[in-house]
Structure 1
Amino acid sequence: MTKRDAPLYKVIFLNQGQVFEMYAKQIYQSDLWGFLEIEEFVFGERTQMVVDPSEEKLKAQFDGVLRSFVPMHSIVRIDEVERAGAVKISEAKGGSNVMPFPMPMPEK
């Protein structure tokens, strides 16, 4: 992999029982304790006629979002990549090896 001027990251994280796989240009630790900030989301170019419903759903959900704050315990993996692929949403299967970090229950 060559050294690039602007790195590109593939971020995989859990959100409400789903696994989000997205691409972003900026990722860093937030001033909000326990969160990562993700900025400048990258979506695939419209170069093909096939429309992926999960990509369209993510585009609509993140339309107008400047920055997302994702809890660190929801992050599954972050990779620096050479180019963006298709963004995806998939169901987090109970039998998979993707498991949320255990959090203590708040006291009543």
Structure 2
Amino acid sequence: MITALYAALLGLFFTVLTLRVLALRGVTPLKWLAFNNFGAQALERSVRAHGNFIEYVPMVLLMMYFAEVAELSPLRLHITGTMLLLGRVMHGICFGFLEFN
């Protein structure tokens, strides 16, 4: 049940990252070519933030689920889930939303 809570919260943030990529793709030239970013730095950073999320979060949630089934203490599960959520939100915002020159 604890893992499901963090999976739901992370799923909401994943939706935010997805909408950010879609919004940026809508304003780039030749938007019908979805696999080329044409050097748009904000779009490239957003795509990587989105991709990095999907590369790591499912595996950690799976490991959390196994730990929960093995009856790891709820406190440890909450610490792991909170750290994962905070880390992913910080990475997603700093890498996908903020622009550095």
Establish whether TM, by shorter chain, passes 0.5.
no
Higher relative contact order, structure no. (Cα contacts within 8 Å, ≥ 6 residues apart):
2
TM norm structure 2:
0.23
Name which one, 1 or 2, has greater alpha-carbon Rg: 2
